[in-house]
Structure 1
């Protein structure tokens, strides 16, 4: 509902102007009514949300021409940056501010690049920049086509790719930097072969005297880093991951590994503590402290202490039931170790434990990435003969601490790399659904 209201406000739609069909399409026809009640409640408590900041301004200036005239007199020069990422509300607001009698000059300058419009999912309307010269007749369009960073071959490749976009003004980028090295394009079978090939090429460059610090692997999504991390560890190539933890250090991966460690080693107290209430199952700090005290007093593990507490009256009935269910799950999973292969068993644990459901219900922007990482973890296990073999491998990977002071190869997402330059760049994973990712393809823009 919050997302729907936000989208309406991005389009400058008040409860009075939302199209009837749209208003009826949510919550069994109650969407528009809920929006109206929401706005009324905000007014009662003298509050506004982020979308209101511009929506109220538009309403004010449309209904009170004296206020609009006052603002126009004060805001005589207008400069808009990143114009390709403005939404409908911002566009209407700007049009109101820029209105002038024909006898007066209009001082408005918009800077933007239609080829860099990436916020359609957040309400951005690339059409704003495409029709700028129609909205403001007589405007001078200055194309900034000289590129100061890339070489000719890179610009040529980029221009040929972007030319496939349907809605664009078009431009011809050029540079004085010369043609530069040609792009080396390779078709590889899978992510493993990608990692092996990149590793070999990095070693070749090193032998030629190139610095690791001037090389980067740029991926589209965080889950892609795992293959490269493991390959660099195998080759003994120091690396760093920018913009996030290394793959096996990510919270959701550590959570999943804790379940697996406790599965094969019931006396692993660190694993037990990490997942006893993850996902939340009503076992708070008091229950955990009680389990801990009993384990220390008995000189036993927390799992064994928990089993004892289930049969006592020390814990609240709800906590006892949750703890019994938790231990019963592990008993059931251990019985299936010989029946299922370890990737299938891991998938079962992630589903049964509620971890997958927890991230599916999570509305934060990185939730989908965490689910991708968990799928990548299951995929990584297929390379190993057993669960124990996989967990031993993880221990070695986690112990491979970054050595300080060494030159390091950089691994990061393309988004984190904005503005950074490297002599040698590897771009893996250029495949359907990854680059560009599936969501941006589904937008149809």
Structure 2
């Protein structure tokens, strides 16, 4: 049975057009709450599955909002993502030794540390890349070429298959031909399924990049991933907490956002099929009761599918259990059914790429007015000096020296004011 506190603010319900617009809404609301006096550490964003964190992380970074992933790793720091990105890096640049070392024995190929050390020494002594040295390994160890040839054949096969393909397809090719997918499928580890979903989410991220970039290239995609990984707005303390609903048990926050309140996601499709709806309902109750003061329940009308395209999801049945008068409905779009309403209507099948301008955040200054050496002011970090500006258009990123250290921020999104 639904019961709401009568003395505090009503839970706020919002349906976005896509998961990207949902993440944008959450980031904008958090920025507004902090401007109104709340602290980042008093806010948590809860979600049903780890894969949801990628879009949320990207949107928080875009707004310069510090965060930490509780009980888990930031999306791009997860091992399986780093491994696949290393294969992609070699596809773009076969001389990338760090990437070669990362995948040399992943999946396992019987190449031991002694062999790797001899390869590295030979490459350094002869000023060769590790891949070049591996191709001529007979010259520094007996049977060396035979040891490395399975790996080199895999890499050549990936290169041939990836010719002329989209970046999303390249990732699929790497995942299959490297043996990485098979390795995860044969893994008894209970996290294997989540790792596979993470790689599928990386494919989603590539598809979105390709749909939005004027001239998408693998090099630019990798530099975007690298930038996101390097961005140091991720802080251990003093940031918004991102976590799964399962991880939130026993914790409390002033303000809680519950994201992804949709059928097939929460409750999950599997829980409905396996008759575990009561467990999901209890989990929903746990999430809602983490909020001491303010609760947001957000969802999206469409969500990207791993197979490409997007699916239309109905609002979560848990939201439909709540009387409409018990919540404040922030959804204003007429073509998307508002979450929390009981009547069932068919929702339009919508391609969110056509609607990516639904939430276009506006920087407080014209992006053209930023220059190297200029002084700017940020809502959280205070005054800072621009050290460098990279990228074009909406993707321009500034490296700014603030009193608390250097930050990399998107100029088209960050709340910056030009001082001089």
Q: Write the distance in 2 (CA, Å) between the matches of 1:401 and 1:342.
A: 26
Question: Is 1:294 matched up with 2:122?
Answer: yes
Q: 2:242 aligns with which of 411, 414, 432?
A: 411
Q: 2:30 aligns with which of 189, 202, 205?
A: 202
User: Does 1:442 find its partner at 2:267?
Assistant: no
Q: In the TM superposition, what is the alpha-carbon distance from 1:401 to its structure 2 partner?
A: 2.4
Q: TM-score, normalised by structure 2?
A: 0.60
* 1:360-381 Cα distance to aligned partner (Å, 9 max, x none): 1112111111111110011101
Matched residue of 2:23: which SS?
helix
- Could you tell me whether the CA contact under 8 Å between 1:217 and 1:411 is conserved in 2? yes
Given that 2:66 and 2:235 are in contact with CA atoms closer than 8 Å, whether structure 1 keeps it comes out as no
Task: Please name the residue that 2:389 is paired with.
Answer: none
- C-alpha distance in 2, partners of 1:405/1:313? 46
1:215 to 25, 38, 43: 43
Other-structure match for 1:93 = none
Does the CA-based 8 Å contact 1:267-1:301 persist in structure 2? Answer: yes
Equivalent residue number for residue 433 of structure 1: 264
Contact (CA 8 Å) 1:188, 1:194: kept in 2 or not? yes
Measured after TM superposition, the shift of residue 405 of structure 1 is 8.4
**Structure 2 Cα separation of the partners of residues 271 and 413 of structure 1:** 31
- 1:255 has 2:54 as partner: no
Residue among 181, 191, 216 paired with 1:366: 191
More strand as a share of residues: 2
Q: CA deviation at 1:436?
A: 2.0
Distance 1:409 1:277 in 2: 37
Relative to structure 1, the CA distance from residue 343 to residue 207 in structure 2 (aligned partners, 3 Å threshold; closer, same or farther) is same
Q: CA deviation at 1:383?
A: 2.2
* Contact 1:287 1:315 (C-alpha < 8 Å) held by counterparts: no
How big is the shift at 1:207? 2.1
Structure 1 residues 298 and 228: alpha-carbon distance in aligned structure 2, compared to 1, 3 A threshold: same
Which residues in structure 2 correspond to 1:34-73 (within 5 Å)? Answer: none
Structure 1 counterpart SS, 2:260: coil
Q: 5 Å matches for 1:77-96?
A: none
Write the mapping of 1:254-333 to structure 2, written as runs, cut at 5 A: 254-309=82-137, 311-312=138-139, 314-316=141-143, 320-321=145-146, 323-333=148-158
Secondary structure of 2:86's counterpart equals helix
Moved more, 238-247 or 400-409: 400-409
Contact 2:135 2:149 in 1 (8 A): yes
Q: CA deviation at 1:331?
A: 2.6
Q: Which structure is richer in relative contact order (CA contacts within 8 A, separation 6 or more)?
A: 2
Question: 1:191-213 CA deviation, whole Å, 9 max, x = no partner?
Answer: 11111111111112122222211
Shift in alpha-carbon separation, 1:250–1:405, aligned structure 2, 3 A: closer
Would you say the 8 A contact 1:240–1:402 is kept in 2? Answer: no
Aligned partner of residue 164 in structure 2, secondary structure: coil
Q: RMSD of the TM alignment (CA)?
A: 2.1
Q: CA deviation at 1:386?
A: 2.1
Deviation at 1:189, TM superposition (A): 2.5
What is the DSSP-based 3-state SS (H/G/I as helix, E as strand, rest coil) of the residue aligned with 1:383?
Answer: helix
Instruction: Tell me which residue corresponds to 1:345.
Output: 170
Partner of 1:181: 9
Measured in 1, the distance between the counterparts of 2:163 and 2:114 equals: 36
Residue aligning to 1:94: none
Unaligned runs of 5+ in 2: 210-215, 277-420
Larger Rg: 1
Aligned-pair CA distance for 1:313 = 7.8
Could you say which structure has the higher helix fraction? 1
Deviations 1:54-80 (A, max 9, x none): xxxxxxxxxxxxxxxxxxxxxxxxxxx
1:355 paired with 2:186, answer no
Partner Cα distance (2:180, 2:76) in 1: 17
How big is each residue's C-alpha offset from its partner over 1:297-353, in whole Å with a ceiling of 9 and x where there is no partner?
Answer: 1022111100111x558243xx63452232233233334444211110110111011
Partner of 1:124: none
**TM-score, scaled relative to structure 1:** 0.57
- 8 A contact 1:295–1:302 mirrored in 2: yes
State the alpha-carbon separation in 2 of the partners of residues 276 and 302 from structure 1: 10
- Write the mapping of 1:393-408 to structure 2, written as runs, cut at 5 A: 393-402=224-233, 407-408=238-239
* Number of equivalences: 270
Shift of 1:188: 2.0
Match of 1:392 in 2: 223
